[in-house]
Amino acid sequence: MPNSSLKPPIESRNETDIAEYFNHIQRILGEIPEAETRADLATKVTELSEAITATRFFVAMKIEDYIDLNKRLIKLEKKIKKQSIREDMGDLKNRSKNATE
């Protein structure tokens, strides 16, 4: 069969759109009633299982990417906040210096 285990459908290997994974599953589901023999049916069920597994891995990777990105954004926000506080403190020092002069 054209799809090997744990791989996205060929047409979406470079895509990041979850819809491609679901469309692939829909295509396989549409082919199941057309199976003429038990072997054909077994092949379609195997393809369906592989497609579902690939979709799960894709979603898990996207969740991990989101978590990593969120952690990086939190760190960046903290840095910006610290920098902003330092700049505010510097401004206050300059103002008080200018006021005493």
Residue 95, pLDDT score:
72
pTM here is 0.61
Nearest partner of 80 among 90, 88, 68, 92, judged by Cα: 88
Helix axes 18-31, 38-100, angle to 10 degrees: 170
Q: Could you give the CA distance from residue 75 to residue 73 in angstroms, rounded to a whole number?
A: 5
Q: Domain residues of the chain, as ranges?
A: 10-100
Residue 5 binned pLDDT confidence (cut-offs 50, 70, 90): very low
In the prediction, which pLDDT does 55 show? 93
Task: Give me the count of residues in the chain.
Answer: 101
pLDDT of 31 over the 60 cut: yes
Measured distance CA(81)–CA(73) in Å, rounded: 12
| 66, 53 Cβ separation under 8 angstroms | no
Q: Is the pLDDT of residue 69 over 60?
A: yes
Residue 82 has pLDDT above 90, yes or no: no
